[in-house]
C-alpha cells in the first residue's frame, strides 16, 4: 500500500532513475516480494524486469497512472470471458506468495472451464519461473501435453 500512496503523490517515477543505477537497491526492494532469492538474479534479469516500467521518467509516470487507476471492478470485468475460455490451462501456483493467496488458484480452477490441473509448488513465490526454472520446467513436463489422458498422481486439485 505504501507504493500505491507514493504513486498517488507522483513520487515513484522520479525515484526510479537513481534506483536503476543501483541494481543492488532494486534487489533489496524486490526482496520479500514475489522473489525467493533475489541475490540469484543476474543484472540482465533485474534490468529486464525494471527498465520497461522505470527506464524513463515517462514510463514511470505511466506505471503510476496504472497503479492509481486499477480498481477491483476492472479486474473482475474479465471473469465472464474467463468462464468461456476453452484453451487447456495448467495453473501452477506458489504457496509461499504473500500477494497472491492460494485461494486464487482454486478460483481460477473453478472459473476457467479448461483448467486441466492446479499444481501447488510448496513455499514458492510468484516469480518461481525466474527463481527456479528447473522446477517450473519439470512441473510442466510432468503434466504432459494438455490432451494427455493420464496425469501424475502427485498433482493436486484435479478438476472433477
Whole-angstrom distance, CA of residue 97 vs CA of residue 102 = 8
* Least confident among 81-95, 105-119, 133-147: 133-147
The residue among 148, 100, 107 whose CA lies nearest residue 121 is: 100
Q: Per residue in 94-120, pLDDT tens?
A: 888 777 888 989 999 999 999 988 988
Q: What is the pLDDT of residue 141?
A: 63
Report residue 151 as a C-alpha cell. Answer: 496425469
Per-residue pLDDT band for 49 (boundaries 50, 70, 90) equals: confident
pLDDT at residue number 74: 83
Looking only at the bridges linking them, the beta strands covering 89-94 and 115-121 are: parallel
Domain boundaries, the chain: 2-70, 79-143
Amino acid at each position: 500500500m505504501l507504493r500505491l500512496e507514493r504513486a498517488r503523490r507522483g513520487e515513484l517515477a522520479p525515484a526510479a532513475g537513481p534506483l536503476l543505477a543501483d541494481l543492488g537497491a532494486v534487489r533489496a526492494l524486490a526482496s520479500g516480494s514475489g522473489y525467493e532469492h533475489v541475490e540469484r538474479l543476474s543484472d540482465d534479469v533485474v534490468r529486464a524486469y525494471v527498465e520497461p516500467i522505470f527506464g524513463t521518467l515517462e514510463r514511470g509516470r505511466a506505471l503510476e497512472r496504472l497503479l492509481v487507476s486499477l480498481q477491483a471492478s476492472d479486474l473482475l470485468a474479465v471473469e465472464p470471458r474467463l468462464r468461456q475460455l476453452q484453451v487447456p490451462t495448467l495453473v501452477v501456483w506458489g504457496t509461499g506468495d504473500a500477494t497472491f493467496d492460494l485461494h486464487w488458484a482454486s478460483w481460477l480452477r473453478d472459473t476457467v472451464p479448461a483448467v486441466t490441473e492446479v499444481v501447488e509448488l510448496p513455499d514458492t513465490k510468484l516469480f518461481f519461473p525466474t527463481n527456479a526454472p528447473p522446477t517450473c520446467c519439470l512441473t510442466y513436463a510432468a503434466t504432459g501435453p494438455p490432451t494427455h489422458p493420464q496425469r501424475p498422481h502427485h498433482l493436486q486439485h484435479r478438476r472433477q
